[in-house]
Structure 1
């Protein structure tokens, strides 16, 4: 999909604003275009900032035209003849006025902080001729976006990059976080908010949506005494803490805030010696492999454990393979792990070519795959 006008991405994936200066105004700016880094790799954030720059630039262009030379302005020379003023002649207006308007544009163009500075000094400064109604600052120290807006922007990007199902789960956790710490500007959260959220998670039941909790507040729910096995596990608590930290890391990356207090929030998982599971021995693995069932209508029960054992692939990756994913590369049979069609991978790094172990070749995986060309490798598995 092409990016909109005024908007492009560099080789380093940073988004930039670029806008052509109208020909009649180029002598004032002494350039043909305006260009500025949007300081973000997020398309969502970049689009929002770009729209604000476009609005500000158009307001400046309009003001300059009204201040210095009305369109098709005419005057009468000493002989009584009408003379149309050229652009260069119109630029003979007092340099102090031009300089002030150029300075005003530079404040809009160069930094959001300059806009804040101008707004703060507007009440004491002398009136400027042809004042320009500037757009609000993109992000200012006194006007950070609220948490609810940050979540909306972040989930939009997660949906684009990771899919709706994953985004929906993350959004649910983040909304619960907002219920606990309240919705406020994102630079106003503190270590106390982190500790409160973590404490609530540690006392929260696994099934908080049960009918018995309807109508109750979070504080009322967590005050109820319940056995440890009915509470969220440490692993689940940590996953939700990581969701929040990732949200605020995203805000830092996109220059919405400078820092946040949600780092290093995860809990240590205590493991007792007797809780450690003994490793499966080679003899045990051999017994498992030799007793895998070969059921004609359920080939996955034989092949998925066998492929996992000799490739290290995730079972979800194996289950969604196509018959065409078993390929011969330079004389070596391999599995092409890809996200073509309806296949989904954990991340882009999961794409790879995995050579087939001799046991898989000897067990007949290649002829089995040949019979499944154009089809799913395992039609007895619902992906």
Structure 2
């Protein structure tokens, strides 16, 4: 073999990997600087030969790209490797997610933080690092989520974004969602008889005196839903200041607060208060400050807002006590929509009251979206509490 054709770093290939007496491998690079030979070493922190070969080969390839590297340049490569190595050994549980969210709005930060914290909590103390996280960890987290598939899709997007912001290597397939045959949250509307059963079963939670008693949300929430068609969390997160009493009384559904959220932009709306709802709300508002929440004893969850406790309670009431099948609190919303439709109310007006996104047609998008208070009040007045 003509040794003249061999690359100049042949000797380096034989010497850049060394092993200590304790069995730990180190990387060593030979350089000639100012007429002196130097062999700066870097511990690879492993006793595994194959792993050491892989790590040292990466370092060698990096250094070979440098032309006559100086001692400082070699040490700079070593320093960069240490930084990468430290990042790879970082525990998922030790990451401060907020440091990567400074460009987001306060409300978005809350959503991202809640989603990330729920993922970390699902690891249950396992020492999972940024390089050891696997799809099985994501699947384990999915199993802890009790929300609807629509909400889960949103959470998966948030979690995927967290991985991207933290530069954690992952496969997009990890964040895919499998459509279930039976949805988490049934969409069937309640019948009149089923609504009567729910209202009768919750009558005992009516406050004994004017005002609000702890647990009275079990009485108020289904009744407000029957008279407005609002979503559970939209009602549960209401403040006294959201109830406007005057010549044209209405409920303001908004996300003006870190603890408030809406499903979409169309969900921000004003729902007129009819006579039945006014009679229900006046005792509830008595002697209350505008800064108070209507249902202050409902616990708040970063991931689910205020709807977790009432959703579980009503679900149990319907399944266990009332023996109703395929029913959830959301079924009341479908009941009111069905009732308005059967009363001859136009679909566009129903959508405006319910906070549905406006369709793509010009008529639905422009001409049919500007219903005045009188139109809305007339429609909402068709909703009454069943005896």
State the TM-score, normalized to the length of structure 1: 0.40
Q: Which has the higher contact order (CA 8 A, sep 6+)?
A: 2
State the TM-score, normalized to the length of structure 2: 0.39
